[in-house]
Amino acid sequence: MLRAPRFYVVAVLGLLAALALVVAGCGNDVPPNGVAKVGDTVITKTEFNHWLAAAAHQQAAAAPGQPVVVPDPPNFTRCVIAKQKQPVPKGTPQPKASDLKSQCQQEYTGLRDQTMQFLVTAQWLLKEADKRDVKVTDAEVQKNFQDQKKQSFPKESDYQAFLKSSGRTEADLKFQVKLSLLTNQIQQKVTQGQGTVSHSEVVNYYNKNKSRFAQPQTRDLLVVLTKKQSDAQKAAKAVKSGQSWSSVAKKYSTDQASKSQGGKLQGVSKGQQEKAFDQAIFSAKIGQVEGPVKTQFGYYVFRVTKNHAATQQTLAQATATIQNILRSQKQQKALNSFVGDFQKHYKDETNCAKGYVVQSCKNAPKSKSKTPASGAPPGGAQGAQPQGTPQQVPQGTPQQVPQQGAPQQGAPQSVPPQQGTSP
């Protein structure tokens, strides 16, 4: 039997090993027509250029009168020419081409990062929805889109004008609607079963935050504030003689806020007013004319018209509010945990082409700062209503059909922002 020369065997094995490395590397490589690859999905340059132009349109719409300029790297020739055509204030020298090029470069970097963040994280959301078997139908997207369109643009002509000025198509808007609907459904799945609150948890929260479920004592007043003590004395004499407080306040008071209300100052609680006036208010008898009381603002003459005693909500009265607070906190905690895992998992699956690398990419430079994806909403109580629902998975879901006159700058956000990037 013939045997292959040893050097031939070694060469073949070396070639096979090299091919294996090439094949393995292809899984992570971004193809020439792409800007990024999320798993097996390629985000193409065509998609990027389309959304970059839309971002430039939205940026221009935020500054009325400014032309739409889509920065064109690497030389930014068209961008510089467009800026050279823009008028400059009289007496101001024409900017240098090099300065305009730097400006174009800066604008491009901002628009590129916004656009890449949107496209990459949109793919993350689509993949997460597929993994969780979350779906929205075309009919659901269409209905939601039409509802928003009707609310934002009563006239079809206004809608068509918006499409033209925004650089987006109706398909783009429906895509954003789809992302928003998927986001809501994923959020519901993440928080499902996370809102159970026990009675002992309610009791514990109430005992630790009892003061937050209380209303302090308050008093309603009629007041006259004057700069001179003699005027205050005249005002006091006038109301004691039977003249209406409204007419006396109109004649003598320098406090425009209470004066416009006939001298009324309602719901005053302890500590709100200057010390001397505060003490006089809460030691005065109901219905009796008091003053003048000297303060740094002048001299007060006043009458307490009504006293509101301090109140304390019972546990039973506060239970519903506390349940909402604790439910919201638990759901938010679940969302925060999800967002952290979501970002880490999909960032590890995302590779970006040179020149398109942002913080969402696995091959991005490590960020020095770490900003939490979101924080648990603070608990509220009587007088400070709690947030009834947790913060959504994406901070600031996309504005599908923006309100007229209020376009968003940059590519719309649709999924959780990366740590260390601006949402």
pLDDT of 379-397, one tens digit each?
Answer: 333 333 333 444 454 433 3
Which of 57-71, 182-196, 279-293, 391-405 shows the lowest mean pLDDT across its residues?
391-405
In the chain, what percentage of residues exceed pLDDT 70?
Answer: 80
Q: How far apart are CA 259 and CA 400, in angstroms?
A: 48
312 alpha-carbon distance from chain centroid: 34
Mean pLDDT for the stretch of residues 90-107: 91
**Which residues of the chain are in CATH 3.10.50.40 domains?**
217-309
Query: In this structure, what DSSP letter does residue 415 have?
Result: S
| Architecture of the CATH domain 217-309 | Roll (3.10)
Among the residue ranges 120-129, 201-210, 213-222, 366-375, the one predicted with the least confidence is: 366-375
Residue 20 confidence (pLDDT): 38
Q: Is the pLDDT of residue 415 over 50?
A: no
- Rounded Cα–Cα distance for residues 67 and 348 (Å): 39
Report DSSP state, residue 16: H
Contact present, 352 and 346 (Cβ < 8 Å):
no
Please say whether the beta carbons of 393 and 414 come within 8 A. Answer: no
pLDDT at 369 over 70: no
Angle at 414 between CA 46 and CA 423, to 5 degrees: 105
DSSP β-bridge partners for residue 42: 37
| Beta carbons within 10 angstroms of residue 169's beta carbon | 12
Residue 21 has pLDDT above 70, yes or no: no
Task: Supply 318's token pair.
Answer: 């506060």
Beta bridge partners of 301: 224
Q: Judge contact between 35 and 116, C-beta under 8 A.
A: yes
pLDDT at 288 over 70: yes
The mean pLDDT value for 207-212 works out to 94
Res. 202: pLDDT tops 60: yes
pLDDT at residue 18, rounded to an integer: 39
**Which pLDDT band holds residue 347 (cuts at 50, 70, 90)?**
very high
| Residue 168, pLDDT score | 93
Per-residue pLDDT at 368 exceeds 70: no
Average pLDDT, the chain: 83
Residues sharing a CB contact under 8 Å with residue 352, sequence separation 6 or more, in sequence order: 30, 35, 36, 37, 116, 120, 358, 360, 361, 362, 363, 364
| Helix segments in 27-131, DSSP class H | 45-61, 77-84, 97-131
Of 85-89, 96-100, 108-112, 187-191, the range with the lowest mean pLDDT is 85-89
Residue whose token pair is 């490590």: 366
Q: What is the largest CA-CA distance in the chain?
A: 133
When pLDDT is averaged across residues 329-351 and rounded to a whole number, the result is: 94
Residue 276 has pLDDT above 70, yes or no: yes
Is residue 33's pLDDT more than 50?
yes
32-44 b/e (C-beta count within 10 Å ≥ 16 → b): eebbbbbeeebbe
pLDDT value of position 88: 85
Cα separation, 54 vs 299, whole angstroms? 62
Confidence of residue 60 (pLDDT cuts 50, 70, 90): confident
> Model confidence at 275, in pLDDT bands (50, 70, 90)?
very high
Q: What's the confidence (pLDDT) of residue 199? A: 96
The pLDDT of residue 372 is above 80: no
Is residue 329 pLDDT above 50, yes or no?
yes
Beta-carbon count within 10 A of 179 CB: 26
Provide the pLDDT for residue 409.
Answer: 34
Average pLDDT for 99-113: 94
Looking at residue 408, its pLDDT comes to 37
Calculate mean pLDDT across residues 131-140: 95
Q: What is the mean pLDDT of residues 282-306?
A: 95
pLDDT value at position 28? 60
Q: Taking a C-beta distance cutoff of 8 angstroms, is the pair 390, 368 a contact?
A: no
- Band of pLDDT at residue 64, cut at 50, 70 and 90: confident
Span 275-282, mean pLDDT?
A: 96
Is pLDDT of 48 > 60?
yes
Lowest mean pLDDT among 1-15, 87-101, 103-117, 125-139: 1-15
